[in-house]
């Protein structure tokens, strides 16, 4: 890498083979410029600031396969990429630095660097990363013109079992596998939840889901009262269909009824198979009169449909609308009583909980 490693500390330690007083002013200026460059990038994590400390003609090589720099724009791209991936300050140690004056406006700083960082939540120490900075003196001071990093293959300590690139690659693969496994588990959870609330024959919601929705709607009545109606439907003489044609044909009839109901119901309605040949529809924001009309339109739809049995298929329905004193059981009980009133009145009809039938 050209740079770009993360750790929580932000101090830099300098180890030189000779005392600063033994360096010439030009050498010391080169060492100071090197230290400033590393500080801006590793501690401040400032890509633009680091690029400003390089000449427009900067070139260089990092430890990554794609880290070959031939212009300032690509250098800035690598700076930004590393900082975005690991934005926190880096703890680093500069060692064995040496400044060489090559001319009035040209100098070289070489040395070694230890990096202490965290990559993908794994603490890593990189020992003896070698660096060479070719620097040019400009009107604004010494700037980096060429940068070269290399990583000794046998310089890994006990706390650094893998080279950085290998560790990054392994961590990326591991992270991808964890995300993939998490995604699979989330999908499995969603599928299990869907199975738990779905009637396996008709694909409608089952009683468990209907109870949840009804409880939510009743709770909403305590916050924002609005019309709420139930339609309880029972298929007329369904036992005869099973007896005359068999249970497979009976199942086909139930599936067809569920499909027809789905086509006619509104998007806000909750339709479920309540049990056996019974269906329940929860109709939010629906006054009693509108619920009666909806139930009767469903009745006419079923009565006029050609099913795969010779018997005419009809249903009886009871409609009940929410009252202030209602709970779950009382509301369902009133719809149930109205449905049985429709049966007693001759079937193939809809009755409201005020026992006023809508005759066919």
2 in a structural domain: no
Asked, for residue 246, whether it belongs to a domain, the answer is yes
Instruction: Give the residue numbers spanning the domain of 319.
Output: 207-358
Give catalytic residue positions.
Answer: 277
Angle 42-43-48 from CA coordinates, rounded to 5°: 70
Q: Per-residue pLDDT for 7 more than 50?
A: no
Q: How far apart are CA 52 and CA 144, in angstroms?
A: 9
Between the alpha carbon of residue 183 and those of residues 174, 223, 272, the distances in Å are: 14, 37, 29
C-alpha distances (whole Å) from 204 to each of 200, 278, 339 are 8, 12, 21
pLDDT value at residue 166: 60
Please report the pLDDT score of residue 355 as a whole number: 54
Statement to judge: residues 170 and 220 lie in one domain: no
Same domain, 310 and 216: yes
Whether this model's pTM surpasses 0.75 = no
In this predicted structure, what is the pLDDT of residue 345? Answer: 95
189 and 265, same domain (yes or no): no
pLDDT in tens, 187-244: 888 888 788 889 999 999 999 999 999 999 999 999 999 999 999 999 999 999 999 9
Domain count, the chain: 3
């Amino acid at each position: 890498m050209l740079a770009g490693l993360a750790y929580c500390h932000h101090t830099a330690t300098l180890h030189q083979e000779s005392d600063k007083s033994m360096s010439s002013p030009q050498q010391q200026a080169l060492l100071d410029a090197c230290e400033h460059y590393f500080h801006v990038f590793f501690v401040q994590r400032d890509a633009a600031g680091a690029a400003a400390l390089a000449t427009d003609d900067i070139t260089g090589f990092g430890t990554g396969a794609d880290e070959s720099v031939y212009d300032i724009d690509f250098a800035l791209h690598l700076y930004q990429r590393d900082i975005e991936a690991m934005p926190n300050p880096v703890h680093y140690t500069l060692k064995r630095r040496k400044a060489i004056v090559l001319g009035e406006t040209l100098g070289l700083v070489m040395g070694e660097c230890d990096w202490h960082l965290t990559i993908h939540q794994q603490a890593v120490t990189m020992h003896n990363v070698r660096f060479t900075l070719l620097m040019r003196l400009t009107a604004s001071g010494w700037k980096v013109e060429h940068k070269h990093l290399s990583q000794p293959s046998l310089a890994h300590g006990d706390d650094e079992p893998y080279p950085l690139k290998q560790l990054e690659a392994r961590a990326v693969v591991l992270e991808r596998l964890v995300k993939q496994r998490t995604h699979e588990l989330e999908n499995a959870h969603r599928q299990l939840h869907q199975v738990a609330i779905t009637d396996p024959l008709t694909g409608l919601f089952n009683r468990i889901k209907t109870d949840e929705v009804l409880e939510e709607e009743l709770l909403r009545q305590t916050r924002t009262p609005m019309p709420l109606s139930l339609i309880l439907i029972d298929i007329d003489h369904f036992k005869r269909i099973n007896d005359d044609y068999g249970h497979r044909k009976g199942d086909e009839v139930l599936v067809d009824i569920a499909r027809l109901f789905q086509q006619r119901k509104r998007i806000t309605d909750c339709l479920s198979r309540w049990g056996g040949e019974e269906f329940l529809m929860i109709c939010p924001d629906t006054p009693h009169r509108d619920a009666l009309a909806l139930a009767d339109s469903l009745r006419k739809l079923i009565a006029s449909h050609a099913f795969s049995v010779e018997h005419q298929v009809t249903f009886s329905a009871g409609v009940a609308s929410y009252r202030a004193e209602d709970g779950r059981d009382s509301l369902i009980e009133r719809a149930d009583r109205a449905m049985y009133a429709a049966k007693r009145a001759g079937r193939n009809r809809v009755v409201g909980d005020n026992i006023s039938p809508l005759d066919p």
